[in-house]
């Protein structure tokens, strides 16, 4: 394989991912390993031709003494190439799975760093894809999990919406290493990539030991990705018929109402997709719930019961299943109110709120201050999670209760309305 061939394939993939109108600048996440340094070189040559600016970021996870030197190596290469570079630092608190925590920290740090950039390149390869598919297969994942990593993935976070792009997802790690060596690029080998304590490393070793096909696993991921698109489209079509975003007058409550009989008539996979997406949409959680917990909740709901999962109350009535935000998940979310701030990822404050107020969930104390006790509202358990403005313990504004101006706080779904969210997740 020639360097020219890799350069041409990279340019073609960038055109497919970004074209035909390229942004003025894109970001690159570069660790200093062979894959990411090869990506930096490829992007440098492509960007010069296309007139696109590059900005580079490196995350120093603070897990190895050499990490600071490796980040400095990337900075020096970027300086030589004429691209701005930033080093961001992260410290693991020892909680949870290290690799999962590091992956999420990278995404959060890059999201905060990117500024006006809408696209950031990651150097994942076909080998990474094969390891991901095998790892998720071992964990019993469904269609979405076995789809592996997408070449383009939308990220929605506190900074807004942006895209992770993976232009090297069809390339082999060894070919990128050969490219880097041919061009005499500086790069480092992270010793943690050979540490069998990590799940991904064990998958890498299993692929080599068992003689599994990297290309075959990656192709399985591509086929599952196509199947996932079809399943999501089917679920979104059903949701448009049986799911309602509840309103009180002209105001959204932020709750979902699912026709109970309509859900019962559809196939199991679609049922699970609608409930899982509903939990994520109501809670603004970035992760789908675990399959075992989701199946258990779905069984209870179809049997007429209720449950709580992922910060969401699920309640069944004769006609509908209601998904509403769990008040207990918001008890520590009280904040001084600020203009245009988001609260709980789903609500937006007015342009000029009265100063000195606190925004928090309505709670039982705010519910007790509602002016019209005879008015029909959703269940109190659902209303407790509504956003409200307080001065001390006094309720000042809760538009859904009819207290204060209706424009004080408005529902503003970060990820779009429900059917759109379901189809894209």
Element (H, E) at 336: strand 335-336
Please choose, from the candidates 38, 194, 35, the residue with its C-alpha nearest in 3D space to the C-alpha of residue 127.
Answer: 35
Asked if pLDDT for residue 37 goes beyond 90, the answer is yes
Task: Please report the pLDDT score of residue 415 as a whole number.
Answer: 66
Question: Structural domains in the chain?
Answer: 3-212 (3.40.50.620), 241-327+417-424 (no CATH), 329-411 (no CATH)
| 34-50 vs 67-81: helix crossing angle, rounded to 10 | 20
Instruction: Fill in the DSSP letter of residue 290.
Output: P
Instruction: Find all residues with CB under 8 Å of 196, minimum gap 6, and list them.
Output: 202, 205
Q: Is 184 helix (H, G, I), strand (E, B) or coil?
A: coil
The residues with which 388 forms a beta bridge, in sequence order, are 360
**What secondary structure does DSSP assign to 215-263, as a single string?**
HHHHHHHHHHHHHHHHHHHHHHHHHHHHEEEEEETTEEEEEEEEEHHHH
Calpha distance 68→90 (Å, rounded): 12
How does pLDDT run across 164-187, given as a tens digit for each residue?
Answer: 999 999 999 999 999 999 999 999
| 126-138 vs 214-242: helix crossing angle, rounded to 10 | 60
**Would you call 159 exposed, middle or buried from its count of C-beta atoms within 10 A (0-12, 13-18, 19+)?**
middle
How does pLDDT run across 325-374, given as a tens digit for each residue?
Answer: 999 999 777 899 888 888 998 898 887 778 889 999 999 999 999 988 77
Pick from 35-49, 153-167, 294-308: least confident: 153-167
- Alpha-carbon dihedral sign for residues 3, 6, 12, 18: negative
CA distances from 74 to 11, 55, 86, 264, 408 (A): 22, 12, 10, 55, 47
pLDDT band with cut points at 50, 70 and 90 for residue 200: confident
Phi, psi of 133 (to 5 degrees): -60, -45
Q: Is 362 helix (H, G, I), strand (E, B) or coil?
A: coil
Q: What does pLDDT average to over the chain?
A: 91
């Amino acid at each position: 394989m020639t360097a020219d061939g890799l350069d041409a394939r990279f340019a073609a993939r960038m055109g497919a991912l970004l074209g035909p109108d390229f942004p003025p600048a894109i970001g690159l996440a570069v660790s200093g390993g062979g894959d990411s340094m090869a990506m930096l070189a490829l992007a440098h040559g492509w960007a010069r031709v296309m007139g696109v600016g590059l900005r580079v970021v490196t995350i120093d996870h603070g897990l190895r003494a050499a990490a600071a030197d490796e980040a400095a190596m990337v900075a020096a290469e970027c300086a030589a190439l004429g691209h701005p570079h930033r080093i961001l630092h992260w410290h693991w608190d020892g909680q949870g799975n290290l690799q999962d925590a590091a992956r999420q920290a990278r995404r959060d740090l890059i999201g905060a760093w990117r500024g006006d950039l809408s696209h950031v390149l990651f150097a994942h390869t076909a080998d990474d894809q094969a390891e991901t598919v095998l790892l998720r297969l071992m964990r019993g994942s469904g269609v979405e999990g076995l789809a592996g990593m997408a070449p383009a993935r939308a990220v929605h976070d506190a900074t807004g919406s942006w895209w992770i792009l993976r232009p090297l997802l069809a390339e082999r790690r060894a070919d990128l290493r050969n490219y880097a060596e041919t061009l005499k690029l500086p790069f480092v080998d992270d010793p943690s990539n050979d540490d069998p304590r990590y799940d991904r490393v064990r998958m890498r070793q299993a692929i080599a030991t068992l003689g599994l096909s990297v290309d075959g696993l990656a192709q399985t991921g591509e086929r599952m990705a196509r199947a996932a698109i079809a399943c999501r489209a089917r679920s979104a079509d059903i949701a448009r018929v049986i799911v309602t975003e509840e309103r009180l007058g002209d105001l959204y409550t932020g709750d979902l109402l699912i026709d109970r009989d309509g859900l019962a008539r559809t196939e199991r996979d679609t049922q699970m997709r609608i409930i899982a997406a509903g939990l994520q949409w109501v809670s603004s959680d970035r992760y789908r719930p675990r399959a075992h917990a989701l199946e258990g909740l779905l069984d209870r709901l179809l049997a007429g019961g209720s449950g709580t999962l992922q910060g969401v109350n699920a309640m069944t009535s004769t006609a509908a299943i209601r998904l509403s935000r769990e008040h207990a998940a918001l008890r520590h979310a009280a904040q001084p109110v600020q203009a245009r701030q988001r609260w709980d990822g789903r609500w937006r404050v007015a342009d000029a709120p009265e100063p000195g107020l606190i925004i928090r969930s309505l709670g039982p104390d705010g519910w007790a201050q509602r002016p019209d006790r005879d008015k029909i509202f959703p269940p109190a358990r659902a209303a407790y999670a509504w956003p409200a403005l307080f001065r001390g313990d006094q309720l000042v504004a809760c538009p859904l209760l009819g207290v204060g101006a209706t424009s004080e706080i408005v529902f503003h779904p970060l990820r779009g309305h429900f059917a759109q969210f379901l189809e894209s997740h």
